[in-house]
């Protein structure tokens, strides 16, 4: 018996709850998506237990807004207007939108456990100045601030689901840090011949 199975059985035994019936084969196991779709949609209870506080990090940088091209002989200051939306992702590629029962369970669990808001989507926009030298192009990049949470869903069923009354499912989710603009940087580089022909012709 591996360590994970030992831990699950230990939890159930300590709570006076033991799986009964034959052990299901791999083909008789629900997929993670099947389990998550049952959260508050066929379960007596569905609780998300965070394994630790949200871990913040900086996401990959990417260009936002249009590039500015300087076709003059003088230094030009260009204003790049941009808007950028950062969404969430998770270990199973399922939506955390309100159409799924575990959406509210997940968000309430995070906010209750850590007094820390979880945002499914965050849009940031600015007007950023870029100084572009003659014959060069300038652009703006944004690296969003992200937070990641790991935990386990504990689901109790009134009737056996795939042979058991209780199921556990590990779950990872990543989303934008609420209210954080992220790292905004300006960049310049020489125009290519093609860019010069397209923008300075």
The reported pLDDT for the residue numbered 163 is 93
Distance between CA atoms of residues 77 and 65, nearest Å: 15
Tell me the per-residue pLDDT of 41-76, one tens digit each, with 9 for 90 and over.
889 999 889 898 889 999 999 999 999 999 999 999
The reported pLDDT for the residue numbered 101 is 61
**Nearest residue to 146 (alpha-carbon basis) of 113, 186, 119:** 119
Q: 99 falls in which pLDDT band (50, 70, 90)?
A: low
Put the strands of the sheet holding 183-190 in their side by side order: 62-69, 136-143, 183-190
User: 65, 141 in Cβ contact below 8 A?
Assistant: no
Determine the structural domain holding residue 178 and report its residue range: 3-19+28-199
Output 14-21 pairs: Cβ under 8 A, ≥24 positions apart: 17/165, 17/166, 19/163, 19/164, 19/165, 19/166, 21/160, 21/163, 21/164
Share of the chain above pLDDT 70, in %: 82
What the block records as the tokens of 63 is 């260009």
Give the count of domains, the chain. Answer: 1
Distance between CA atoms of residues 162 and 159, nearest Å: 10
> With left for phi above 0 and alpha for psi between -120 and 50, is residue 74 left, alpha or beta?
beta
Q: 21 falls in which pLDDT band (50, 70, 90)?
A: very low
């Amino acid at each position: 018996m591996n360590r994970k199975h030992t831990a699950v059985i230990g939890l159930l035994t300590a709570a006076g709850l033991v799986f009964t019936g034959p052990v299901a084969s791999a083909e008789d196991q629900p997929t993670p998506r099947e389990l998550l779709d049952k959260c508050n949609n066929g379960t007596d209870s569905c609780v998300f237990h965070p394994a630790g506080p949200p871990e913040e990090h900086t996401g990959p940088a990417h260009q936002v807004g249009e590039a500015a091209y300087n076709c003059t002989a003088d230094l030009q200051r260009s204003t790049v207007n941009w808007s950028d939306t950062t969404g969430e992702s998770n270990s199973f590629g399922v939506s955390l939108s309100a159409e799924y029962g575990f959406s509210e369970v997940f968000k309430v669990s995070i906010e209750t456990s850590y007094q820390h808001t979880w945002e499914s989507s965050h849009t940031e926009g600015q007007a950023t100045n870029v100084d572009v030298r003659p014959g060069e192009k300038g652009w703006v990049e944004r690296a969003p601030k992200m937070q990641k949470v790991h935990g386990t869903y504990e689901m109790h069923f009134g009737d056996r689901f795939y042979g058991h009354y209780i199921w556990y499912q590990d779950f990872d989710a990543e989303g934008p840090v609420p209210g954080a603009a992220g790292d905004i940087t300006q960049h310049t580089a020489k125009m290519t011949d093609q860019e010069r022909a397209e923008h300075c012709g």
